[in-house]
Structure 1
Amino acid sequence: MNIFHPRTLVIHPGFKDLEEFILSIPERFDNNEGTVIHKGRNELRTMEYNGRKFVVKSFHAPNFINRFVYGIFRPSKAKRSYDHAEMLLKIGVGTPQPVGYMNIRSGGLFDRSYYVSCESTCPYIYQNLFEQKFEYEEEVLRAIGRTTAVLHEHGYAHKDYGRANILFQKVPDGIKLEIVDLNRMAIGPLDIKAGCKNFERLPATPQMHRWMAEEYAKARGFDAEKCFELMVAYRSTQPGKIDNRY
C-alpha cells in the first residue's frame, strides 16, 4: 500500500482471489480499460478478469468538506453499496452479487471509492417497459410490487428507485428482479403513505400502477385501492413527468 494513498479493501469471502484485480482498479480506470455503461458524476464500467465479468462503480471525489465527513463520520458510498447489497440478499431481494469495495485516502483525507459486483444476467431495465412490448409485463409489475413490499417490511427504502435501477428477466419459475445502485437507502418504518411514495419515480400507466398496488397491498396488508390512489397521486407530482409508451 502506498503510504501517501492508503487503501481500505474489503472483499467478499467468496472472491478472495480478486484482491489483485480490485487493487488495480484505479490504474485500470486511468488506462480506460473496460466498457463504460454509465458516465455522470459517477462512472460505471464492465470489466473482465480471469474469464469473469464484473461491474465496477467509481464514485466521484467528494468536495473538500465531505472529504472530512466520509473520512471520519460517514461510511463511503462504496461501503454503503456493498453493505446494502449484502442486506438485500439476506432478506431475499435480488441484487448482483457484491464482490468488494475499496476506499482510497490522499493526504490524510478521503479521496475516492470503488464498488465491485458480479455482472447481472438480467437483460432489461424498468425503462424498457416503455420502449417495447413484453407478453409478461403484468408479471414484471406484480413482481416489483411484491419485492418492494419485502424491502419496506424490513424497513428499507431505495432513495433512487427509478427506471434504470430495477432489472428484470423472465425465468422458468417466474420473474427474476434485481435492484441496483444501492448506496442511497433510507432505513426505518414505512407506513402506507411513505411506502407508496417510494414508487413515485417509476413511470407508469394506470394499469401498471394497479398491478403494482395490488401486489404491494396484498403483501403488506394494506387496502389495494388506497395504494393505487396514492401511487397515482405521488407520481403526478414529479416534475417533467412524461409516461408515454413505446
Structure 2
Amino acid sequence: MPVNIHTLPEYSDEKTSLLQLTDNFHDEGELIVKGSRNIIKSNTFQGQQVNIKYFKKPGAFNAVVYNFFRESKAKRSFDYAVRLLKAGIRTPKPIAYIEEKTAFTLQSSYYICAQINYDFTFRELIHDPLWKDRDLILEQFTEFTFRMHENRINFLDHSPGNTLIVKRGEGQYDFYLIDLNRMTFEDLSIAQRMDNFKKLWLSKTMVKIIARKYAALSGEDPEQLQCILLEKTIAFKRRITKKKWLKRKLKK
C-alpha cells in the first residue's frame, strides 16, 4: 500500500524509523487513549517520548474525499501545529504525519509529535474551585487565548481536555493545545472570540474572571464581554444537556 510521509526538515533522515513506529503501532507502545475513532499511544523515538495518534480509516465516501479533495486529519494536525508554533502558541512539537492510501482512498493516517509531561488540564479547574492559583491560571489562560485570537486562530475544539497546563515556576503557567485538526484562520469579532470559550464549560465565576481579563487585554467593556460570554456558555450547556437527555430517552 502506498505510504506518504512528511516530516519537519530536521527529521528528514529519520523516515524509516518513523515508519517503523507506525508499522508496529498496534503491537508496541503504551496506550494513552482508545476512542471509537482514534487511538493514541506513547513510544520512544531518538531517546525521547513521542505520541502517535492513529486516525482510523474513514467511511467509504469520506475515504475518497480525503484522498482527493480534503486534507487528512493527520496532515491538518501537523500543519496546524507548525502554524501555531510560528505564531508563538504552544503545542507539542510536531514531528511527522503518515498517510496510507490506495489509488482512490485514504486508508488510515498517523500524526507523531513530542510528548508533553503536563501537570494538569483545564478540566481540573472546572471541577475544583479551590484549585491552587485558580484565578491566576484563568487569567493567564485568557491571555493565551487572546494571543491566539490576535493571530487569527479560531481553535474549534477549545474544550477542557484539549489544553495541557505545565507549571513553570511559582505563579507561572504554560498552556499547550492538543487535538488540533479542527481550526479556522480568520479575523474574529468580539462575539466570535467569546463564542470560542463556550465549550470550556465555565461557571459564572470563571466567566467573570475571563471576561474581566479579556476586556483589559482588548480594551472592550468588561460588562459587555461578561454578558456575551455568559449567554454563549449557558446556551452551549443547555444544548449539550438536551442532547444527552434525548439520547437517554432514545435508549429506553
Same fold judged by TM-score > 0.5? yes
Alpha-carbon separation, structure 1, partners of 2:223 and 2:13: 51
Deviation at 1:160, TM superposition (A): 1.1
Higher-helix-fraction structure: 2
- The amino acid of 2:115's aligned partner reads E
Counterpart position of 2:8: 12
Counterpart position of 2:34: 39
Higher relative contact order (CA 8 A, sep 6+): 1
**Is structure 2 residue 163 aligned with structure 1 residue 162?**
no
Deviation at 1:17, TM superposition (A): 4.8
C-alpha RMSD of the superposition:
1.7
Q: Deviations over 1:178-206 (max 9, x none)?
A: 01111000222210111101111112222
- Asked whether the 8 Å contact 1:153–1:220 carries over to 2, the reply is no
Aligned pair partner of 1:68 in 47, 52, 64: 64
Counterpart position of 1:84: 80
Counterpart position of 1:240: 241
Aligned pair count reads: 236
Alpha-carbon separation, structure 2, partners of 1:18 and 1:182: 24
1:24 aligned counterpart, secondary structure: helix
- Asked whether the 8 Å contact 1:55–1:119 carries over to 2, the reply is yes
Runs of 4 or more, structure 1, over 6 Å off, are none
1:190 aligned counterpart, secondary structure: coil
Please, which moves more after superposition, 232-241 or 163-172?
A: 232-241
Structure 1, unpaired ranges of 5+ = 242-246
**Is structure 2 residue 184 aligned with structure 1 residue 189?**
no
1:213 aligned counterpart, secondary structure: helix
Aligned pair partner of 1:129 in 121, 125, 129: 125
With normalisation by structure 2, the TM-score equals 0.87
With normalisation by structure 1, the TM-score equals 0.89
Alpha-carbon separation, structure 1, partners of 2:166 and 2:22: 32
Please, which moves more after superposition, 185-194 or 221-230?
A: 221-230
Counterpart position of 1:244: none
Q: Deviations over 1:57-103 (max 9, x none)?
A: 11121111111111111111111101111111111111111111011
User: Among the aligned pairs, what percent are the same residue?
Assistant: 28
Aligned pair partner of 1:226 in 224, 227, 248: 224
